[in-house]
Amino acid sequence: MTDFLVKRDDLRECRIAESGVAELAPGQALLRVDSFGLTANNITYAVFGEAMSYWSFFPADDGWGRVPMWGFAEVEQSEAEGAEPGARLYGYLPPSSHLVVVPADADEHGFVDAAPHRAALPSTYQRYLRTDADPFYRADTEEVQMLLRPLFFTSFLIDDQLADEGLATRGPILISSASSKTAIAAAFLLAQREGVELVGLTSPRSAEFVQGLGIYGRTVTYDRIDSLERGPATFVDIAGDGEVRLAVHSHFGDKLVHSMAVGATHWEDFGASEGELPGPSPIFFFAPDRAVKRSEDWGSATLQTRVADAWHPFCEWTGGWLDVVRGQGFEAVQSAYRDVLEGRVDPKTAHVLSLQ
Ligand SMILES: NC(=O)c1ccc[n+]([C@@H]2O[C@H](COP(=O)([O-])OP(=O)(O)OC[C@H]3O[C@@H](n4cnc5c(N)ncnc54)[C@H](OP(=O)(O)O)[C@@H]3O)[C@@H](O)[C@H]2O)c1
């Protein structure tokens, strides 16, 4: 078994760990991790590894962590009911060759991992979905599913919350890190709503790409935030850059209707300028919490159906610009991980990786 490990207190340091094949106990199953997607979202799992328990999903040696990924796996061996060898699954996976799970609540859609160390963690991350009964699944879009499905789910919930709270049309919606996949998916959905005005805030290197997407009404670089008209506006902060946050809050002040803190892509500048923000306090948007709320409101099957219905047109649209780069083995995973960590990935490209 092979694991890609990251040093918890120095995210730039990585190593490979090899161990013997796991002996399964009754009730366990061994998944072979086929491949997984890697974007800035996974980096924030590492940045908040301690604070939000992301290191707890896939334990590793002392001081090291396995950064959670989304991808596909196959049941290789099983001593558990509801996890037949050969079944192909989508779910939350370690950057490893294998994962031992304890399948529970199995039905035709899949199962949850009831391993005791995962019991207290958010339920959104626990389910393994069988591809043969998954409304999102199409064999020819596996790469896009690995890369964009979890981000699209977040974006669906952002779009839903902004509309639900009457924020979608109370002045423009300013989205930072406008070139990120999460921002793009949110903008794609918001742009379909009547009367929504979208402003993509981005870095100069991503501006042309953002403009070319055709979903933002305007593209404004971070250094030109003060050129925006000062009036009611909503800020959806995906970048998490303290300087950008301060610039938006200082420019709009009390006219800012809502400030939604979604991401920390600019992880080294995340805390900068804290404590001196004019306007409303940023409110952290945590997709698993909003998913629980909408599952209660609508029922989880309806939520899944609504997201899947919105997903397919988005998935098709991304085929027009998304460039998937495949990598295999430790060196490829390490190189892609470091590129994403340092923000060196061109916004139209994304990595799909495999350790074996
Ligand atoms: N709260 C939640 O529940 C939740 C759920 C899902 C995702 N998220 C967050 O959404 C964010 C976006 O994730 P993603 O996977 O969609 O990102 P992505 O597509 O990989 O983002 C790429 C873009 O992020 C910016 N960027 C990337 N690395 C950077 C770095 N080191 N320094 C500065 N800028 C960098 C650049 O955008 P610009 O040039 O446009 O600035 C780049 O084009 C993440 O912070 C993630 O945590 C939050």
CA of 238 to the centre of ligand 1 (A): 6
Q: Is the dihedral of CA 67, 189, 352, 128 positive or negative?
A: positive
Which pLDDT does position 267 carry in this prediction? 75
342 CB within 6 A, ligand 1: yes
Amino acid type, 139? A
Q: Does the C-beta of 318 come closer than 6 Å to ligand 1?
A: no
Residue 32, pLDDT score: 98
| Element of type H or E holding 219 | strand 218-221
- Evaluate if residue 330 carries a pLDDT over 80: yes
Helices 181-190 and 300-318: crossing angle, nearest 10°? 100
In the beta sheet, which residues pair with residue 259? 235
Query: Which residues are within 8 A (CB) of 275 and not within 5 positions of it... i.e. 6 or more apart?
Result: none
Q: Alpha helices of the chain — where are they, by DSSP H?
A: 40-47, 142-164, 181-190, 207-213, 242-252, 287-298, 300-318, 330-341
Rg of the chain over all Cα atoms, to the nearest angstrom: 20
Percent of the chain with pLDDT over 70: 98
Mean pLDDT of 156-168: 96
pLDDT digits (tens, 9 = 90+) for 11-62: 999 999 999 988 999 999 999 999 999 999 999 999 999 999 999 999 999 9
Q: Which two structure tokens, joined as six digits, stand for 313?
A: 């047109």
Whether 58 and 17 have beta carbons less than 8 Å apart is answered as no
Average pLDDT over residues 102-106: 97
Ligand 1 pocket check: which of 47, 151, 180 to mutate, most ligand atoms within 8 Å of Cβ?
Answer: 180
In the chain, pLDDT over 90 holds for what percent of residues?
A: 92
Distance 265 CA to ligand 1 centre (A): 4
Q: State mean pLDDT over 148-169.
A: 96
Q: What is the pLDDT of residue 97?
A: 97
Mean pLDDT of 107-114: 96
User: Is 161 near ligand 1, meaning CB less than 6 Å away?
Assistant: no
User: What type of residue sits at position 33?
Assistant: V
Report the Cα 67 to chain-centroid distance in Å: 12
How far apart (Å, rounded) are the C-alpha atoms in residues 192 and 314? 11
pLDDT for 273: 61
Q: Which of 175, 211, 265 gets mutated to test ligand 1 (max ligand atoms within 8 A of its CB)?
A: 265
Is residue 46 within 8 A of residue 37, CB to CB? The reply is no
Q: Which residue owns the Cα nearest ligand 1 atom 37?
A: 177
Cβ 75 under 6 angstroms from ligand 1: no
Task: Give per-residue pLDDT as tens, 250-297.
Answer: 999 999 999 999 988 777 776 666 667 899 999 999 999 999 999 999
User: Does residue 259 have its Cβ closer than 6 Å to ligand 1?
Assistant: no
Helix axes 300-318, 142-164, angle to 10 degrees: 120
Model pLDDT, residue 147: 97
How remote is the C-alpha of 81 from its chain's centroid? 30
Atom of ligand 1 nearest to the CA of 178: 40
- Measured torsion, CA atoms of residues 210, 195, 167, 242, in degrees rounded to the nearest 10: 20
| pLDDT tens digits for range 331-340 | 999 999 999 9
Is the C-beta atom of 37 inside 6 A of ligand 1? no
Nearest CA to ligand 1 atom 25: 177
CA 343 to ligand 1 center in whole angstroms: 9
DSSP 96: B
Question: pLDDT tens-digit profile of 185-211?
Answer: 999 999 999 999 999 999 999 999 999
Q: What is the mean pLDDT of residues 96-102?
A: 97
State the pLDDT at residue 13.
Answer: 98
Q: How far is the CA of 48 from the centre of ligand 1 (A)?
A: 14
Q: Are 75 and 87 in contact (CB under 8 A)?
A: yes
Predicted confidence at residue 268, as pLDDT, reads: 75
Which tokens belong to 257? 């209707």
Residue nearest to atom 41 of ligand 1 (CA): 177
**Top-confidence residue, 272 or 155:** 155
pLDDT at 272: 61
Taking CA atoms only, the protein residue closest to ligand 1 atom 6 is: 151
pLDDT of residue 19: 92
**Would you tell me how many other CB atoms lie within 10 Å of the CB of residue 145?**
22
